[in-house]
Chains A and B, each alone.
Chain A
Amino acid sequence: MLYSPHGRDQLVLLEQDFERLRPDIDVRWLDMGSQEILDRLRFERVNPQADVWFGGPATIFDRGIEDSLLIPYRPAWAERMGGSARSSYYYPVYRTPAVIAYNSRAVPQSAAPQDWDEVLDERWRDKVIIRDPMASGTMRAIWGLILVRSVQQTGDTARGMAWLRRLDGQTKTYTINPALLYEKLARQEGLVSLWDLQDILISQAKGLPLGYVFPRSGTVVIEDAIALVRGARHSEAARAFIDYVGSPKAQLLAAREVFRLPARTDLPVDSVPGWVAEVEREMVVAKMDWDMLSRQGPAWMSYWDQHVRGTGKR
């Protein structure tokens, strides 16, 4: 049993492929938000239903470790992944870069904001739609990037908060779920947003008129991880599945079909889909202090919610 925030398409895809390789294992999954996974694992501590926690930003896995909901498992592919593992409990399988998204029917690629600061341009006043950052790992990571930068450059978060206040002034509305975000962007209620690459690519494939730009000064890349649940009843099968997800075959499958950017760095160049190569070329990755975000994040978000949200227009 998997608990996963990945959508149905991806889960069905991997389930079927894995079951062909291991006919003796019946993969079942429930798709839900990362926060819900954490809540459920807590409740189910004495009667665990899940075997694998598949997906979500590393910061929320950290909270799972704090509550001792996970057990360490080092997958066969652990050292093939780019970056350094931050923990022995979970390992990244996909990379989810944040991007600047825009309505490609109303805004040509060259006119779209090319960097974070350009979103604050007068042109986009009241044209920006933001997914409610309290409820979104992606948005928390973007907020984190702005604030970590501010701390690194000036020693505190004041400059970052001021930036976010100006962004708040540009923001027309905070939407509560991604589905509404896409609808509002597609229907031109707003033209620009900050969101993650994979969801934009999927929406594009479904026919929504959305485009994306990698911010010039660098973007934050969320490491989307996988881990073994403490007390998993089908621990052997779970390990086999974790090993499978990081295998070149599954990484390429997810990249080709559902636009997941593989975390593996050793995939043969000629077998990765074109978009992956393009992304690798264009993407500038910003340096990010994840430990600082994990430590300070909740306090920052709480401050933002109380003192910044809704104050930018005054």
Chain B
Amino acid sequence: MTSVANRAAATGWVLLIFLAWLIAYPLVLVLIEGFRGSHGWTLEYVNLFLQRRNEAQALWGSLWISVVTVALAAVIGVPLAYLFWRYDFPGRRLLGGLVALPAVLPPLVGVIAFLFLYGESGFTSLLVQWLFRLEEPPWRLQGAAAILLVHAYSMYVYFYLFTRAGLASLDGAVFEAAASLGAGRWRTLRRVVFPLLYPALGGGALLTFMTSLASFSAPYIFGGGFRVMTTQIVATRLNGDDQLAMIETTSLTLLALVALWLLRGAREAENPAGGRKGVPPALVPVRSRWLRLALMLLGWVLALVLLLPHLTLLLVSFVPAGTWTTEPLPPAYTWRNYLTLIEDPVRARPLLNSLWLATAATVAAVGIALVAGILSVRRRVLGRTAIQGLLALPWAVPGTVFAIALATAFSVREPLAGRFILVGTLWLLPLAYLVRNLPITSRAVVAGLRALDPSLEEAAASLGAARWRTLRRVTLPLLRPALVAGSSLAFVTAFGDFVTSIMLYTYDTRPISLEILSSLRQSDVGVAAAYGVVLMAVSAAVFAVGADQGSAG
């Protein structure tokens, strides 16, 4: 073994131990609580779990909602990505960016925007009611259908982004070859494009499935009586049955791990095209005037529909408290809500807090992902499967659970057991954001590295460049699109995080989402919406910069 390989192996072990300590260890500490009764180890709570009909219902609900969400998100996201990639029509670039915006709908108030929009007293239902002269509102935003609507809306973005990234790395020559062999458009799509897209689609499916499984707000708010596991866990905890809640959490985590295992093929698949060679295929310009017009119209209507929740939120942020009730549109407008935000320095601070927290967590997550990516894709160190598995694990666990796990693990001073007191300090929240960000950044880095031709790095090495120099001058610049895409998504996720923050924030790290919650508690929907709009604007700006940098790289 060479010394380089030795050093890589050593770094690999250090990284593996670090990740195990940060990610797996807290989870194990918490999950075993479910097997501990007042007199030592017990299966009492497992039995209780198995006996209750509710629990099985909730687990089944989580499972099928997630599977259907994946299907719906794919049906929306994949054709959209294909449309924007293959055809040229007016407004293509702008619309292509706007379509990714559902990813930045802020927590809590975003759901309120849905209520104002599609709820039974929202505009859409009032409009339908008026159009068809109905006595009763045409629908209720409740139950499984409502959860699926919100999920499909917010999660098709994963499929969209992954498919676009996958398509972007296709080689135009493949199309020419297919065409010259006489394959029609459908046949090319079916036999050439889809097989090449498998890794991207698998990645999108995994991300959607995990997010949907761990989704809490949508079922919590729109579920009505519909049970899923995440809401069940919270209900059980609120009732003081902590052990049972841990068993429920374990069941959900196991379900996620099974999914991770089933879809591991998607992660492991090497890119058969061998990286980005040649040129991307030319855009197909749409020649027919009518078709152009139709496509443009379709594009704009689609973008409008997708942006309606954002626009509703913007509208709500200008409404004085308590004035908008049964009217179709707000009867009064004001700047007051925004002034509240600016005037009191105490209320502006959460914005700064969220900014530095999210930045720190993102930088750290990108760094770790980069090391892990290079070690497992290029150096292929022993234990790379474990490293990548650990990095993906935070997706599989609901945010609330991770927050509890971190808080439990780091509330005891036992340095020998690797436990320190971080609770109540500045460090716990950024650490939690970091953990939540790792799957996003590591997936981006791994995908980027796989698409990168190793012969470029070999060439640099054969030209005498040292490894650092190769990394700095060759690998990193080529990875930039992937890094930028990953880090902007990670930043936005941390910036708007609610479920982890609520357990872990302190006086000095109070993030913006908690300020939204605090306003909502006082029925200041307008102020909450104003915070939401600020959050949305910052996130959208980060995304825009990301998209710009990513495509320039």
Contacts and interface: CB of A to CB of B under 8 A. Distances in A.
A57 to B, nearest CB: 13
A180 B412 contact: no
A178 B520 CA distance: 8
Interface stretch (A152-160, A199-207, A285-293): A199-207
A49 to B, nearest CB: 4
Given A134-B239, A183-B115, A187-B121, A203 B523 contact: yes
Interface string A198-218: 000011001111000000000
Interface stretch (B14-22, B246-254, B322-330): B322-330
Interface string B139-164: 01010000000000000000000000
B6 interface: no
B521 A7 contact: yes
A99 interface: no
A274 B492 CA distance: 49
Interface string B525-541: 10010000000000000
A184 B137 CA distance: 14
A158 B112 CA distance: 38
Interface in B492-523: 502-503, 505-507, 510, 518-523
A179 B109 CA distance: 10
Interface residues of B, number: 52
Given A30-B510, A63-B240, A298-B240, A36 B520 contact: no
B521 A134 contact: no
B523 A44 contact: no
A9 interface: yes
B80 interface: no
A102 to B, nearest CB: 14
Contact of B503 (A31, A39, A105): A39
A301 interface: yes
B411 A208 contact: no
Interface stretch (A75-83, A141-149, A235-243, A305-313): A305-313
Interface in B207-227: 220-221, 224-225
Contact of B220 (A63, A176, A301): A176
A276 interface: no
B413 interface: yes
Contacts of A298: 239-241
Nearest to A204: B322
B188 interface: no
Contacts of A30: 505-507, 510
B506 A49 contact: yes
Given A63-B240, A134-B239, A43 B407 contact: yes
B520 A177 contact: yes
Contacts of B235: 134-135, 305
B225 A187 contact: no
Contact of A174 (B140, B225, B404): B225
Given A43-B423, A188-B326, A202 B522 contact: yes
A135 B240 CA distance: 11
Nearest to B120: A189
A68 interface: no
A302 B503 CA distance: 24
Contacts of A7: 518, 521-522
B518 A179 contact: no
Nearest to A35: B238
B112 A183 contact: yes
Contact of A173 (B142, B505, B524): B142
A189 B121 contact: yes
A185 to B, nearest CB: 9
Contacts of A49: 424, 506-507
Contacts of B407: 39, 43
A1 B505 CA distance: 14
A182 interface: yes
B306 interface: no
A227 interface: no
A182 B523 contact: yes
B238 A206 contact: no
A306 B326 contact: no
A41 to B, nearest CB: 11
B54 interface: yes
A202 B524 CA distance: 11
Interface in A30-59: 30-32, 35-36, 39-40, 43-49
Nearest to B217: A176
Given A47-B411, A206-B322, A305-B235, A179 B525 contact: yes
Given A49-B506, A189-B120, A179 B521 contact: yes
B193 interface: no
A47 B421 contact: yes
Contacts of A177: 221, 520-521
A146 B412 CA distance: 42
B203 interface: no
B502 A32 contact: yes
A47 B410 CA distance: 10
A206 B321 contact: yes
A186 interface: yes
Nearest to B57: A306
Interface string B451-472: 0000000000000000000000
A207 to B, nearest CB: 3
Contacts of B518: 7-8, 31
Contact of B523 (A46, A47, A179, A302): A179
B11 interface: no
B234 interface: yes
Interface in A111-141: 134-135
Contacts of A209: 325
Interface string A1-17: 10000011100000000
B426 to A, nearest CB: 12
Nearest to B406: A43
A202 B322 CA distance: 11
Contacts of A36: 502-503
B119 interface: yes
A179 B510 contact: no
Given A30-B510, A35-B238, A39-B503, A306 B521 contact: no
Interface in B224-265: 224-225, 234-235, 237-241
Given A36-B502, A49-B506, A186 B325 contact: yes
A45 B411 CA distance: 8
A207 B411 contact: no
Contact of A207 (B142, B322, B519, B528): B322
Interface of A: 1, 7-9, 28, 30-32, 35-36, 39-40, 43-49, 63, 105, 134-135, 173-180, 182-184, 186-189, 202-203, 206-209, 298, 301-302, 305-306, 309-310
Given A36-B503, A183-B112, 20 more contacts: A30-B507, A32-B502, A39-B407, A39-B503, A43-B407, A43-B423, A44-B424, A47-B424, A173-B142, A178-B523, A179-B528, A187-B325, A188-B121, A202-B523, A206-B321, A208-B523, A298-B240, A298-B241, A301-B239, A306-B53
The 5 closest A-B pairs by CB, nearest first: A207-B322, A187-B121, A310-B225, A179-B520, A49-B424
13 contacts: A30-B505, A30-B506, A44-B423, A134-B238, A173-B142, A173-B224, A176-B220, A179-B520, A187-B325, A202-B522, A206-B321, A207-B322, A301-B239
Interface of B: 52-54, 112, 115, 119-121, 140, 142, 220-221, 224-225, 234-235, 237-241, 320-323, 325-326, 404, 407-408, 411-413, 421, 423-425, 502-503, 505-507, 510, 518-525, 528
